[in-house]
Amino acid sequence: MSSIVPTDLTDADWRALHDLAVEAMAQAYAPYSRFKVGAAALVDDGRLVSGCNVENAGYGVTLCAECGLVSELVRTGGGRLVAFACVDAHGRACAPCGRCRQLLSEHAADGMVLAMPSGRMTIDEVLPDRFTADDVERVVDEQS
Ligand code: THU
């Protein structure tokens, strides 16, 4: 079976992603910031994965919605993220924070598209020149 690529997505696919992100947002645990977030993504094999933010009394321990999404991705068999949507409590597009752009990028398909508040953008546009496994391996190899 051939992999799904970002250009395959129809408007109906984007609506389904948005709806799943809204469903996830409704489950968020955000008693401290009261800023509920839901995230959803399409995997290159057609699976949908999602997550919500989970806050903690130790504020720094908070898990962003993307953490839950990536955890579900890996737990359910891995794969590459093709398309991503993140919403706030009003169902409006929410920009992933810098840390979560890095987290998502490690699992991104080539040309992964994110629904940003300013419109759809690729992973390269939202996180150019990112740190990757190649950067780690280059230095580790030099040492051995
Ligand atoms: N948050 C996310 O879940 N994802 C992001 O990319 C941005 C921020 C959450 C963390 C915290 O629970 C709340 O939004 C306010 O920062």
Tell me what pLDDT residue 144 has. 83
6-45, pLDDT tens digit by residue?
999 999 999 999 999 999 999 999 999 999 999 999 999 9
Largest pairwise CA distance in the chain: 52
Pocket test for ligand 1, best of 33, 34, 36, 53 (most atoms within 8 A of CB): 53
49-73, pLDDT tens digit by residue?
999 999 999 999 999 999 999 999 9
pTM (2 d.p.): 0.96
Output the DSSP codes for 16-85: HHHHHHHHHHHT-B-TTT----EEEEEETTS-EEEEE-B--SSGGGPBPHHHHHHHHHHHTT---EEEEE
Pocket test for ligand 1, best of 25, 35, 84 (most atoms within 8 A of CB): 35
94-110, pLDDT tens digit by residue?
999 999 999 999 999 99
Number of Cβ within 10 Å of residue 84's Cβ equals 27
Q: Answer yes or no: 66 catalytic.
A: yes
> Is the C-alpha dihedral spanning 128, 129, 130, 133 positive or negative?
positive
